Amino acid sequence: MKPRNVELFLLVIASLITCMGYWLASLGTTSELPTDIIPFLVIVLGLLIGTHFAIRAFVPFADGLMFPLVALLNGLGYMMIARLDPDLASKQAFWTFIGLAVFVFTIVFFRDIRFLEPFRYTLAALGVVLLLLPLTPGIGQKINGAQIWIKIGSLSIQPGEIAKLVLAAFLASYLAEKKEFIALEVRRIGPVGLPAFKYFAPLIFACGITLLVMVFQKDLGSSLLFFTLFLVMVYVATGRSIYVFSGMFMFAGGAFFAWSNFSHVRTRVSTWLDPYLDVKGAGYQISEAQFAIADGGLTGTGLGLGYPKKIPVVESDMIFAAFAEELGLLGATSLLLIFLLFVSCGIRIALSAASEFERLLATGLILLLGFQAFIIIGGTLRVLPLTGVTLPFVSYGGSSLIVNYMIVGIMMRVSHNSVVAATNEIISGLDEGSDSKWKAVSK
């Protein structure tokens, strides 16, 4: 089957799963069948199929699995948010519509993503400015201890979500141009070979400023996310594992310094190690999440039949615990598998990219989403200290959802362009071969 036909078939399945989950959650919560299930199905199918035809028109050769996986994740997230809070569900539906519109805008107007490549330093400056906006008096807002929001009228926005995308583009652009110089050893300190400082300095400066701002904002999740992005993109560009090990050593030192000097970091770590020491205080959220996961068992309590509302901020930080309680180990594992498939699609797209800039950008973007899912799920399961990031496409949140859809749009455009470039190369080779044969015959 052609990729677009596969995509359409999978989108119909994703829509049916979403509507069935919505139906079961409503039945479990109110003991009544939802009266709006048919209009709901029509709206979901209409949005997804409308977006599908935009994909057919503008990126017909793009990967056929990525968008259905995103639609399924978004649909499952909406289903759970509607079960938790119908008011938030209506807002999430609006943000989903805006996200799909941004996705279509991206695939239509970002025809050649390489137009960003010459603006690397502008992108770095823009990323830092976006990170600093929440610290601006008058518009900056502190929510749940982290100052990562700006408020314009009645609208609250996380500019850091956009900053991650912008800074990933900066790293891709800079590394695509300078990777040979960064990989080249010009001096050694013991067993470690170092590149010329003038080539590595912009990366260190941009990374250092970014991390300082995020730490000052108490945005530990984004700090960890960006630092990992930096390390992996440098490794992918240069192929030198020494940068990864050096970065891990630096991270360990930085983590120890933060634990020694910042009380909120010590609280996060102690809560992670033993949340039951202060089960009614700092450990309340993670303790309730652990109780919910345990209550879910293998198959769950059933949609609408659990008590996930006991978990503070369950619709964003802890939505994975809600899935684990009501769908059990099987449902939570299925959600993990969807994310694994999504990341594998992104890696495949990155490997087949037509240019070095696109390859690095696609790698960075899929890493952002994949590692973000890992650290929030790891925090929920107490594999890692809990950080305040969202589960991509699943958690409630407008800024995150819109930027994530833009990322998927860029990935689809990169996928399409790589197929077009490979096809043109094959046609060019055939034409050259035909010309050579004609010249040989004419002689």
Residues 349-369 have pLDDT tens digits of 999 998 999 999 999 999 999
Residues 55-77 have pLDDT tens digits of 999 999 999 999 999 999 999 99
Residues 247-257 have pLDDT tens digits of 777 777 777 77
- Phi–psi pair at 341, nearest 5 degrees: -65, -40
Residues 320-335 have pLDDT tens digits of 999 999 999 999 999 9
3 state DSSP class of 398: helix
Residues 143-190 have pLDDT tens digits of 666 667 787 777 778 888 898 899 899 999 999 988 887 777 767 666
Section 259-287 average pLDDT? 83
DSSP-derived letter for residue 389 is -
- Beta-bridge partners for 156: 151
Least confident of 85-89, 113-117, 291-295, 437-441: 437-441
**Alpha-carbon distance 168 to 75, whole Å?**
27
* Cβ proximity of 102 and 409 under 8 Å: yes
CA Rg value for the chain: 23
Structural domain boundaries in the chain: 113-244
Section 341-348 average pLDDT? 96
Residue 442 has pLDDT above 50, yes or no: no
CB count in 10 Å sphere of residue 140: 17
**Alpha-carbon distance 102 to 298, whole Å?**
38
CB count in 10 Å sphere of residue 191: 6
Residues 91-136 have pLDDT tens digits of 999 999 999 999 999 999 999 999 999 999 899 889 888 888 887 7
DSSP string of 74-119, one letter each residue? HHHHHHHHHHH-HHHHHHHHHHHHHHHHHHHHHHHH-S-GGGGGGG
Section 338-344 average pLDDT? 96
Q: What angle do CA 277, 144, 324 make, to 5 degrees?
A: 65
Alpha-helical (H) ranges within 133-219 are: 159-183, 197-216
Beta carbons within 8 Å of 253's beta carbon, 6+ residues apart: none
CA–chain centroid gap for 335, Å, is 15
CA atoms within 13 A on the CB side of 303: 19
DSSP-derived letter for residue 133 is G
Name all contacts of 18-25 with Cβ < 8 Å and 24+ positions apart: 18/44, 18/72, 18/75, 18/76, 18/78, 18/79, 19/44, 21/75, 21/76, 21/79, 21/303, 22/78, 22/79, 22/82, 24/302, 24/303, 24/304, 25/79, 25/80, 25/82, 25/83, 25/303, 25/304
Residues 16-33 have pLDDT tens digits of 999 899 888 888 887 776
Amino acid symbol at 218: K
Which pLDDT band holds residue 443 (cuts at 50, 70, 90)?
very low
Q: In what order do the strands lie in the sheet with 140-143?
A: 140-143, 146-152, 155-157
**Alpha-carbon distance 26 to 383, whole Å?**
32
Quote the tokens at residue 377. Answer: 């799920």
Residue 45 has pLDDT above 60, yes or no: yes
* pTM listed for this prediction: 0.92
Sequence-ordered strand ranges (E) for 134-292:
140-143, 146-152, 155-157, 187-189, 192-194
CB count in 10 Å sphere of residue 220: 23
**Alpha-carbon distance 233 to 231, whole Å?**
6
